[in-house]
Amino acid sequence: MLAYSLRRVPSALLVLLVASMLVFAVLRLAPGDPAVVLAGPDPTPQAVEAVRTQLGLDDSLASQYFHWLGGLLTGDLGDSYILGAPIATLIGSGLGATLELTLAALVLAILIGGTLGLALGAGRRRTVRTGAGAVTGLAFAVPPYVSGVLLVLLFSIAWPILPAAGRVALLDDPEIAAQYLLMPALCLALPAAAVIARFLAASLRRVQDEDFVQTGIAKGISARRLLFRHVLPNALPPVITALGIQIGQLLGGAIVVEAIFAWPGIGQLLLNAVLGRDYLLVQDLLLLAVAVSVILQTVTDLAHAAIDPRLRPEAR
């Protein structure tokens, strides 16, 4: 496992390097100039040029890129062009809220997706499978920006039992914090739950056709014991891979959900940075998102290999 883990490191570093180049280049190709934003309304060309010199934007693109990369390697993320605050501080203040939202959504996605997947793949009654299939299809088809608005209309306006927007820290008041957290987490979790349910159902059906399952049935092992002791563990590896991908999707989807529910996380920070042409802050946030996705994917592959030894290089 150690050799397998070490072999993942060079490819992960290469992905991060390529991602840093793409992020830097795409932002420079986009229209807009942070110097114009900072120079105020109706700025003179001299004022804009002075701001560009102050921010280092008049240096060559290669110089700007290597200066940014060097800062990242030494732990210096720089200061936000627009907000003027250290980027590490800004990310730290929003990261907790985004992680709280993402973890809550992940728990809901596993619970809902696992239940629906079991009903779809191992349900004995046709009505159960049909109902689970309908709920899964609805959760998969409705995007978060639609489900978010519907949840607000239903539970904050028509039947006002949950707050429509904002956040209370879990440590300050857990009960009130859960009320603020429930709708955005559910909105973010539904598409991921649908994907998990479909992967789990397909994997369960495939494993149920294996010879060892038919042998277990012939020996009289109860259906419940056969499902939870033998079928489900063998059906989990592809679901774990899908789950790892979905965690990255949850972090990306948090941008939309945070905008709908005014959740003060990384998504809100990124949105404001893009609108303000805050190059340095956008670069750091996008590369952070890529790094988190790479780490999650690596952890998922390692978990997959730990469950299924056939995937390890020494077993090939």
Using an 8 Å Cβ cutoff, are 58 and 48 in contact?
A: no
Tell me the pLDDT tens digit for each residue of 191-228. Answer: 999 999 999 999 999 998 888 888 888 888 888 888 88
Same domain assignment for residues 28 and 14: yes
The rounded distance, in Å, linking the Cα atoms of 109 and 232 is: 18
Tell me the pLDDT tens digit for each residue of 59-98. Answer: 888 998 998 888 888 888 888 888 888 888 888 888 888 8
The rounded distance, in Å, linking the Cα atoms of 211 and 217 is: 10
For 4-40, b/e burial (b = at least 16 CB within 10 A) is beeebeeeeeebeeebbeebbeebeeeeeebbebbbe
Q: Which one of 87, 115, 149 terminates a domain? A: 87
Tell me the pLDDT tens digit for each residue of 234-292. Answer: 888 888 878 877 887 787 778 788 888 888 888 888 888 888 778 888 888 888 888 88
What is the pLDDT of the chain when averaged over all its residues? 85
Same domain assignment for residues 267 and 194: yes
Tell me the pLDDT tens digit for each residue of 125-151. Answer: 888 889 999 999 888 888 888 888 899
Using an 8 Å Cβ cutoff, are 176 and 168 in contact?
A: yes
Is 80 exceeded by the pLDDT of residue 47?
yes
Can you give the residue range of the structural domain that contains 2?
Answer: 1-87
Same domain assignment for residues 194 and 98: yes
Q: What percent of the chain has pLDDT over 90?
A: 19
Same domain assignment for residues 114 and 235: yes
The rounded distance, in Å, linking the Cα atoms of 185 and 100 is: 9
Same domain assignment for residues 131 and 247: yes
Same domain assignment for residues 195 and 118: yes
Task: Report how many domains make up the chain.
Answer: 2
Select the more confidently predicted residue: 114 or 248.
114
Tell me the pLDDT tens digit for each residue of 3-20. Answer: 666 677 788 888 888 989
Confidence at residue 196, expressed as pLDDT on a 0 to 100 scale? 93
Is 90 exceeded by the pLDDT of residue 119?
yes
The verdict on residue 284 lying in a domain is: no
Same domain assignment for residues 78 and 107: no
Confidence at residue 93, expressed as pLDDT on a 0 to 100 scale? 82
Q: What is the dihedral of CA 38, 42, 46, 51, to 10 degrees?
A: 0
The verdict on residue 111 lying in a domain is: yes
Task: Give the relative orientation of helices 126-141 and 87-122 as an angle to the nearest 10 degrees.
Answer: 150
